[in-house]
């Protein structure tokens, strides 16, 4: 019998603690071994309960969640943390700080229009992802924009039809924070799907934009995809590529795919349909199989594909699924990925 994932729930709201507990107990692979009103109580309980994963609110009395995360990091704790917090715009900045302080996942507390019970499948998925995440990866170095690395051949009509699409999940925010600032600013358009809650996607895009030479921002419906620009799918919206006067993005709220919205497969399949052999698809760290079939569509259309290798992945789930499907041209260490993207683009006909 497989050992259940042991979870300690930390939140100052008795209602939220009970609802998270009841929700997680529905999954046969998860056991809630305890609850705590705040991090100080949690610190007393952890040695006895030995949890595999902590869920953590950000705003609590006596000690807030961000302070606790920084304390855990300073103590070199390896217990993965899933933040469940109110993701208003201000809260999203706090949640991003939490990820930089070591949180594995961030989920939004539902607002008044929904109940936390609606998170059931998603919450269990992210708890399992956090439990399986690598804990031995060294911190990533600071990346710097590399100018002039891309040759700029043109098609006979003067256009450049190349397109880069990237998909990621658990560990992906940190991977994107490394890759995107390291890319030259003269790249063809980039579209990114990161499994991420609503509101939080904008904060992530703004933080990466501040580190990058290229423009990185959250996509809006019908935005054009332009050279030197990276558009990130907003949380809770699938992002597709369409072709009008240029490549543009279409945002839709059709049903989740692989329990995810946005889903990588949706982006990749649409890119294959409109950009065909001019497409480069990249699958980064994450749990599950999202992106594998979409990468297959890109390969069937004559495009190219890269995947993050196992050694550098927080979770080697999505890249593994693509490799096992036989649709990956090269598996690349994260720190070599920016150069691999440039080299592959140079080999694609404009």
Catalytic residue numbers? 169, 195, 290
User: Helix 264-275 vs helix 292-300: angle between axes, to the nearest 10 degrees?
Assistant: 10
CB 219 within 8 A of CB 250: no
User: Helix 337-346 vs helix 172-182: angle between axes, to the nearest 10 degrees?
Assistant: 60
At 272, which helix (H) or strand (E)?
helix 264-275
> Alpha-carbon Rg of the chain, whole angstroms?
20
Distance CA 72, CA 234 (A): 30
172 backbone dihedrals φ, ψ, rounded to 5°: -75, -30
At 181, which helix (H) or strand (E)?
helix 172-182
Q: How many CB atoms lie within 10 A of CB 138?
A: 6
Pull the structure tokens for residue 277.
């052999």
Distance CA 53, CA 129 (A): 10
CB 82 within 8 A of CB 55: yes
Residue with tokens 């699924």: 321
Q: Is 324 helix (H, G, I), strand (E, B) or coil?
A: helix
Pull the structure tokens for residue 245.
């006067």
Kindly write down the DSSP assignment for every residue of 222-236, as one continuous string.
T-B--TTEEEEPPTT
Pull the structure tokens for residue 267.
């982006």
235 backbone dihedrals φ, ψ, rounded to 5°: -60, 140
At 74, which helix (H) or strand (E)?
helix 65-74
């Amino acid at each position: 019998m497989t050992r259940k994932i042991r979870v300690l729930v930390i939140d100052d709201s008795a209602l939220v603690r009970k609802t998270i507990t009841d929700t997680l107990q529905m999954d046969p692979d998860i056991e809630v071994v305890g609850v705590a009103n705040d991090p100080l109580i949690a610190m007393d309980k952890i040695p006895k309960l030995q949890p595999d994963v902590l869920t953590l609110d950000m705003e609590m009395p006596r000690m807030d969640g961000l302070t606790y995360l920084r304390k855990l990091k300073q103590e070199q704790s390896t217990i993965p943390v899933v933040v469940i917090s109110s993701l208003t715009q201000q809260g999203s900045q706090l949640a991003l700080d939490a990820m930089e302080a070591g949180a594995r996942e961030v989920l939004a507390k539902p607002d008044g229009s929904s109940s936390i019970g609606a998170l059931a499948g998603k919450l269990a998925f992210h708890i399992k992802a956090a439990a399986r995440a690598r804990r031995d990866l060294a911190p990533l170095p600071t990346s710097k924009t590399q100018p002039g690395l891309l040759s700029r051949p043109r098609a006979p009509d003067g256009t450049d039809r190349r397109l880069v699409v990237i998909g990621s999940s658990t560990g992906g925010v940190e991977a994107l924070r490394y890759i995107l600032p390291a890319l030259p600013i003269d790249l063809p358009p980039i579209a990114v799907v990161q499994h991420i809650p609503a509101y939080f996607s904008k904060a992530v895009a703004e933080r990466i934009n501040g580190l990058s030479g290229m423009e990185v921002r959250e996509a809006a419906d019908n935005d054009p995809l332009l050279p030197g620009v990276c558009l990130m799918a907003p949380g809770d919206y699938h992002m597709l590529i369409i072709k009008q006067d240029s490549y543009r993005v279409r945002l839709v709220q059709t049903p989740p795919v692989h329990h995810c919205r946005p889903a990588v497969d949706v982006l990749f399949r649409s890119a294959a349909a409109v950009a065909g052999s001019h497409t480069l698809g990249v699958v980064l760290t994450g749990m599950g199989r999202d992106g594998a079939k979409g990468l297959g569509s890109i390969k069937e259309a004559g495009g190219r594909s890269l995947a993050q290798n196992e050694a550098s992945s927080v979770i080697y789930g999505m890249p593994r699924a693509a490799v096992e499907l036989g649709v990956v041209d090269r598996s690349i260490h994260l720190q070599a990925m920016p150069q691999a993207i440039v080299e592959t683009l140079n080999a694609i006909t404009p």
